[in-house]
Amino acid sequence: MEAISEIRLGEINSKEDLSLRLGDALDMKASISLAAIIFLATQTAYLFDKGLARYGYYLQVVSIVCIVFAAIYALLELWPIEYGLPQPESLIVTKRIKELTDHYGAYPNVEENVVKSFMEDEMAWAQNRIADNQNKNRRKSDLLARSFWFMGVAVILNLLTVCLFLFKPNA
């Protein structure tokens, strides 16, 4: 039975590690997205500087709105948050081991019972951290998706504006 608990604990720890890596990956995507958003903002400023016909002007006004929302969502995704991490040296661990030792003191196989119960506690703590981290990653993912869609609209609008320049009749 102890071997099964150790395997389960190993799997839970792997899932916990993956939830932390996912948060890092989302932050990297948001950083790259922010660089693209800054490029779009620069491109929009350039297009305004070149002088725009009526349709191009309106396309770029909408593009600016999309760029602003995309940037806000990307920055919110990058906002620092604290992930739940294991605390092996915490006083809670020492206190819990003492509680379990006191509880199982009258039973035979004290150490075995303490190890088994403590391993169950560790799994529960890890599962709670994983659930908390997944909620944080879900929020970050949602913010990144919103940023992407606004950025995508801005890209399309900027491309349409460039096309207006290309097909503009000579005056």
pLDDT in tens, the chain (171 residues): 567 767 777 888 788 888 889 999 999 999 999 999 999 999 999 998 888 888 889 999 999 999 999 999 999 999 988 888 776 667 777 788 788 888 777 778 878 877 888 888 888 888 888 899 999 999 999 999 999 999 999 999 999 999 987 877 654
Contact 133, 19 (CB under 8 A): yes
Helix and strand counts by DSSP (H, E) for the chain: 4, 0
Token match 């839970």: residue?
12
Q: For residue 80, which amino acid is it?
A: P
Q: Give the largest Cα separation in the chain, rounded.
A: 98
Is 0.75 surpassed by the pTM of this model? yes
pLDDT in tens, 21-62: 999 999 999 999 999 999 999 999 999 888 888 888 999 999
